[in-house]
Amino acid sequence: MMRTMKLNNMLTTALVCVGLNGFSQQISAPSRYDILYNYGIIEAFIGGLYKGTLPIKDLKLKGDFGIGAPDMLDGELTMLDGKAYQTKATGETVVLDNDYKTAFSTVTFFKADTVFYVNNATEQQNLLEVIKDGLRNINAMYAIKITGDFGHVKTRAFPPVKAEPFPLLSTILDKQQFFDIQNTEGTLVGYHLPEYLNGIQISGFHLHFLSADTKQGGHVLDFNGHNLKVEIAELKSLELDIPTGHDFQNFKFKPKHSEALERVEQGK
């Protein structure tokens, strides 16, 4: 089935859709593909808990697709087709061995239930708006995979931290390194997550990039591309694992108050 949609810049993009907004039947998937596995809490990670505590070999038992953070904030982690890649602040991207540890990661066994194609050139904002408009449930969790030709991808990676006490991530934004990746094939790997998970995870879109030759990558800040295949998997449940070490167990989380919940709990 062919559908034509106008993007914000009046660019007309042809979308060949499967399952988007009920256009056709869903592709069935085994239940194991419906689980979002999250290791750690993003609030604690950006608060300075950068030490890796989960081996990659254990992470692979929970998924073959996802994103995360390497040990000691050393770059960006991207998992695609069962391999874990680390994009360093030097720009180098390497395959991580099974004993390497991650501080925070989110993975799933990816199997799309929605697929569509964007043939004409499109910018990040326009494509993400098309994807968001097509998501059936605003409070569902979605894994997003976008493969194709990218004219430009802007990514970033942080250098490793070395000495404790580790700084808050928001205080070392000047340390991040930016990469301007031009004219390459590759894959965007990531998620669109609901607002109620914010703090455990990051709500909205969160994407990493890996070039087809696996030599370039990082956390995505901007992109444009064409001949793109967009694959979306709606995830039905969340499996949350938290580190058991001293640092996490003694981390001071910010209180989250809800007056309505407090009144209900107290019966007044």
Helices (H), 135-251: 246-249
pLDDT at 8: 36
The pTM of the whole model exceeds 0.95: no
Give me the residue spans of the domains in the chain: 2-249
- Evaluate whether 117 touches 158 at the Cβ level (below 8 Å): no
d(CA 97, CA 82): 12
pLDDT at 31: 53
At residue 62, the 3 state secondary structure works out as coil
- Evaluate whether 225 touches 250 at the Cβ level (below 8 Å): no
Fold of 2-249: 60s Ribosomal Protein L30; Chain: A; (3.30.1330)
pLDDT at 23: 32
Pair of tokens at residue 157 = 């990676």
Which H/E stretch holds residue 196? none
Residue-wise pLDDT tens for the chain (268 aa)?
333 333 333 233 334 444 443 333 344 444 588 999 999 999 999 999 999 999 999 999 999 999 999 999 999 999 999 999 999 999 999 999 999 999 999 999 999 999 999 999 999 999 999 999 999 999 999 999 999 999 999 999 999 999 899 999 999 999 999 999 999 999 999 999 999 999 999 999 999 999 999 999 999 999 999 999 999 999 999 999 999 999 999 999 998 877 887 778 778 7
Q: What is the pLDDT of residues 218-245, one digit of tens each?
A: 999 999 999 999 999 999 999 999 999 9
